[in-house]
Structure 1
């Protein structure tokens, strides 16, 4: 999706989508577009973890959930690598992933892209069916899911 502007900690995308984080100026200042994504391991792993807790096997549940988060991390890296492979021939590259609820360096300070902006991120997809739902808290379900965006910028 094309970037209209990045200024004063506000990222404005085509279609009027706006996001707020002081770090955007530094992290997306060279980007001309963003790629917004949602990925999930699905509800079955959440259910398997819950079954372990119900069976009084909390250590197994903890290990299973931890393995799931490692898989989410790996899937995110694989997504970035696949996108990067497509962009390199165009002389473009990706920023690292940005997502609501995470903190980023903004000058000498750290700042958080507020989790409450998760719903605005989901609005970028319009009416497209997504594999995850947002809870009132702005957390996603299934739990082992990730959302965010990558900036697309010319390679130096």
Structure 2
């Protein structure tokens, strides 16, 4: 997954055909590029993003509401945030929720009212984007792969992260 310029995000997949026959032979080991093109629109949007300018000491955090397809972030979230162990671009983290990624950071980084009894199994992967880092993981596109793999019988889509 590459976060490119101008709001374009590219995912690279290869296909593996399990039962090669005349109708699917051309798909074996084929490269597919799945592109998310994030654009400003005034109608027909798939998701809405809201940016709020905050004062330096305000404790308002970014979040994504998947059920209503809305992303809320602060004006400072467009820059990489480096604060203690946190080294992350928050906008990229919030986009990760739109493609099925869950928060992986532990209770140490949550507001008191958001703390839970159980933490993510990836809580120790601090460099991961859906945790407190900025690095991509193959698991972030598992939901997309699952949907792709339902489309063509006997074909599996395999992702490659650079």
TM-score computed with the length of structure 2 as normaliser: 0.29
Instruction: Indicate the structure (1 or 2) with the bigger Cα radius of gyration.
Output: 2
As a proportion of its length, which structure holds more helix? 1
TM-score computed with the length of structure 1 as normaliser: 0.29
Greater RCO (Cα-Cα under 8 Å, separation 6 or more)? 1
